[in-house]
Amino acid sequence: MSSDLGLTNRAFCAVLLGAEEVLGKHGLAAVLRQANLAAYINNYPPSDLERGGHRAEFVTQIAQAIQSIYGVRGYRAILHRVGAIQAKHGIAQNPLVANAARIAITLLPAHLKVKIALEAAVKELNAQMNRQARIVEEGAAIIYEEPTCIYCLGVHGDKPICYSVAGFIHGLVVWALGSDAFTVEEIACRATGAAMCRFKIVLNE
């Protein structure tokens, strides 16, 4: 699937709000200037499902601008926090999905709770961000696969860099489990030449 359709207003607004919560308004303004997206300074899209021309590449530009300004170490920590905040906003802004998932997982074993919560989130994420993420299982691990990851479009490196997606997954799994008794690791990344980005979730059972 191409990125031509772009992100919904709600999806891109969540990216900006997550970054603002971590960096502050002035910090985000500096990032947006660095990313050649100054038109969005104090001008976020409304939180609706219309598509306002926000291209997937804009998210990559924001991530790379954060790295340029804050360095590699700061970039990792900041993007992880931004992703976790996006998960929080996503749950708050999609109560029907959140409530359905919460009801479904109440009495289930932890592994199934996480799988169902991630599948519900991925369905909404794919619709709003024009993506093709999916959840698969490999032994005791749950794998979040993202063939169309928008955090590493056109980026090349020697290690995985999609920290925001890892933070997003972490936030969702904490919500599903009510604890942080698990690990999330990006085990493949398109930036390193892999066919897709893959994140491994292992519960500490």
pLDDT tens readout for residues 159-171? 999 999 999 999 9
Residue 99 confidence (pLDDT)? 66
* CA distances in angstroms from 170 to 23, 37, 142, 180, 188, listed in the order given: 20, 28, 13, 8, 17
Q: Does a structural domain hold residue 142?
A: yes
The string of DSSP letters for 90-115 reads: HHHH-HHHHHHHHHHHTTS-HHHHHH
The string of pLDDT tens digits covering residues 33-92 is 999 999 999 999 998 989 999 999 999 999 999 999 999 889 999 999 999 998 887 777
pTM: 0.87
Could you list the residue range(s) of the whole structural domain that residue 37 is in? 7-203
**Residues 145, 203: Cα–Cα separation, whole Å:** 17
CATH number at residue 68: 3.90.1520.10
Instruction: Answer yes or no: is 103 within a domain.
Output: yes
Report the number of distinct structural domains present in the chain: 1
Amino acid 1: pLDDT: 37
Confidence of residue 3 (pLDDT cuts 50, 70, 90): very low
The residue whose two tokens read 């890892």 is: 166
Q: How far is CA 25 from CA 20, 29, 59, 77, in A?
A: 6, 6, 17, 18
pLDDT at 47: 87
Q: Is residue 1 part of a domain?
A: no
Residue 100 has pLDDT above 80, yes or no: no
Q: Is residue 2 part of a domain?
A: no
Mean pLDDT (whole number) for 187-193: 96
